[in-house]
Amino acid sequence: MDAEFPVSKGWEKLSSTLTRQGRPPQNEEGAPVNLPLTRGSTVLFPSLDAMQKQGHRRYDHEYIYGAMGTPVQHELEKVIASLEGGTDCQIVSSGLAACTTPLLAFLKAGDHCLLPDSVYGPTRRFAETLLKRFGVTTTYYPPCADAATIQSLMQPNTRVLFAESPGSHTFEVQDMSMLASVAHAGQAKLMLDNTWGLGIFAPFKHGVDISIQALTKYPSGHSDVIAGAVTVNTQEDWHMLRDASIQLGQLASPDDCWLTLRGLRTMGVRLAHQSRAALQIAHWLKNRPEVARVLHPALSDCPGHEIWKRDFTGAGSLFGVVLSPQISQHAMETMIDSLKTFGIGASWGGYESLVLPTSGGIIRKHPVTGAPQGPAFRLQIGLECPTDLQDDLAQAFEIFKTAV
């Protein structure tokens, strides 16, 4: 049976933690519930000696200069590091910056990088443009490849094995423990885009070295923040990441950090509802005649389902839908235009439900991980009533009776 445990279990367990972390001390009379919002570029010191001493504390999440992070950013870093199970976190300007900053920090000219064929499109574009121009070569591997296949693709100069689980648009779940074993045997770092799994997948327990988050998604939760996070688990990796972040000028605004902290307070309850609703709708879609396949990791026929069941404590609100090959791309686009409750837009993880076409824009190097055989779209399930969302999809599917 699909989803042997409630997909919301992991999210529900987070709620108590998320209401306590990253707050002012509560043992003083008149203490505010939330952190004050501190904006500022210049930080004043009582003496040159004090300024110089503080300047040497760049690894300590201390307020040195605005471009190196503000107090609210440093508190957000501590919360995300705790959620990921790491030691330190660097907040950056976007989810994409969270992917590119560690790649720049840990790769140099002449190095080789392995990316999954299902990787987020802008990460692929970064590898094929900027990294290539800087003399870093990239090889793509099938996201469900076994250890022998990954080992065969490793080169003496492979320094990063990058993973994304579940994969963008096709939702393959990857075996992190296996990937970590292969990466470390070849003296490479294992990086994971863990945006879908924040709080329900513990990256460092499975051998990941660097975990990446788009805080734009679940943590902020209201579709009004652009920010990212990179978390590590060793002092050596932290120093490499932190130095590169300072050199690249990576940070997020204090306002976005404050909004993300506020969004985190409700992430557990939001995602408990959204994950349950997403699985309900995924099961409903599986029984629709118009649907060829539903790509949801909690469903037994999704690639990597057994790994999800072994390693995750819940599921997210984002999944894919592949329509019957008899349905044309044009008909699917007409259907999407007729949706009334779902919005049409990129991104995900907010409170509102979204739909985004995925067929026609998926790039793959390996035929086995190629684009779906029928028209496909991605659903982000928000906080609306699940039956309202099902009704909206049902009325939109009526278009297939006339559209071609």
Confidence band of 403 (pLDDT split at 50, 70, 90): low
Residue pair 338/394 in contact (Cβ under 8 Å)? The answer is no
**Does the domain spanning 267-402 belong to CATH 3.90.1150.10?**
yes
Q: What is the C-alpha separation between 47 and 96, in angstroms, rounded? A: 39
Strand pairing class (318-323; 343-344):
unpaired
Percent of the chain's residues with pLDDT above 70? 96
What average pLDDT does the segment 330-338 reach?
97
What average pLDDT does the segment 280-285 reach?
97
What average pLDDT does the segment 397-404 reach?
82
Burial 17-35 (b: 16+ CB within 10 A, else e): ebeebbbeeeeeeeeeeeb
Q: What is the pLDDT of residue 23?
A: 82
What average pLDDT does the segment 221-247 reach?
97
Q: What is the pLDDT of residue 174?
A: 98
Confidence band of 5 (pLDDT split at 50, 70, 90): low
Residue pair 202/350 in contact (Cβ under 8 Å)? The answer is no
pLDDT exceeds cutoff 70 at 270:
yes
pLDDT exceeds cutoff 90 at 365:
no
Q: What is the pLDDT of residues 158-186, one digit of tens each?
A: 999 999 999 999 999 999 999 999 999 99
Q: What is the pLDDT of residues 22-78, one digit of tens each?
A: 887 776 677 788 888 989 999 999 999 999 998 898 999 988 998 999 999 999 999
Q: What is the pLDDT of residues 283-320, one digit of tens each?
A: 999 999 999 999 999 999 999 999 999 999 999 999 99
Bond from prior residue into 166 cis (ω within 30 degrees of 0): yes
pLDDT exceeds cutoff 50 at 81:
yes
Domain ranges of the chain: 18-262, 267-402
Closest C-alpha to 21, from 72, 60, 76: 76
Which stretch of DSSP H or E encloses residue 255?
helix 254-265
Q: What is the pLDDT of residue 163?
A: 98
- The listed CATH number (3.30.360.10, 3.40.640.10, 3.30.590.20, 3.30.450.20) that belongs to domain 18-262: 3.40.640.10
What average pLDDT does the segment 91-100 reach?
98
Collect all residues with Cβ–Cβ distance below 8 Å to 190 and sequence separation of at least 6. 161, 163, 176, 179, 180, 183, 184, 207, 208, 209, 210
Q: How far, in Å, are 104, 119, 190 from residue 179 at the CA level?
A: 21, 15, 7
Q: How far, in Å, are 1, 98, 102, 170, 288 from residue 283 at the CA level?
A: 11, 33, 37, 17, 9
Q: What is the pLDDT of residue 369?
A: 56
Q: What is the pLDDT of residue 363?
A: 79
Three-class DSSP category at 98: helix
pLDDT exceeds cutoff 50 at 1:
no
Collect all residues with Cβ–Cβ distance below 8 Å to 76 and sequence separation of at least 6. 22, 91, 229, 257, 260, 261
Q: How far is CA 119 from the centre of its chain?
A: 11
Q: What is the pLDDT of residues 235-248, one digit of tens each?
A: 999 999 999 999 99
Q: What is the pLDDT of residue 49?
A: 94
The mean pLDDT value of the chain amounts to 93
Q: What is the C-alpha separation between 113 and 154, in angstroms, rounded? A: 9
Q: What is the pLDDT of residues 107-138, one digit of tens each?
A: 999 999 999 999 999 999 999 999 999 999 99
Closest C-alpha to 346, from 129, 119, 126, 120: 120
Confidence band of 106 (pLDDT split at 50, 70, 90): very high
Q: What is the pLDDT of residue 34?
A: 86
Better-predicted residue by pLDDT, 362 or 252:
252
Q: Do domains 18-262 and 267-402 have the same CATH topology?
A: no
Q: Which two tokens stand for residue 309?
A: 């069941």
Residue pair 343/322 in contact (Cβ under 8 Å)? The answer is no
Q: What is the pLDDT of residue 19?
A: 87
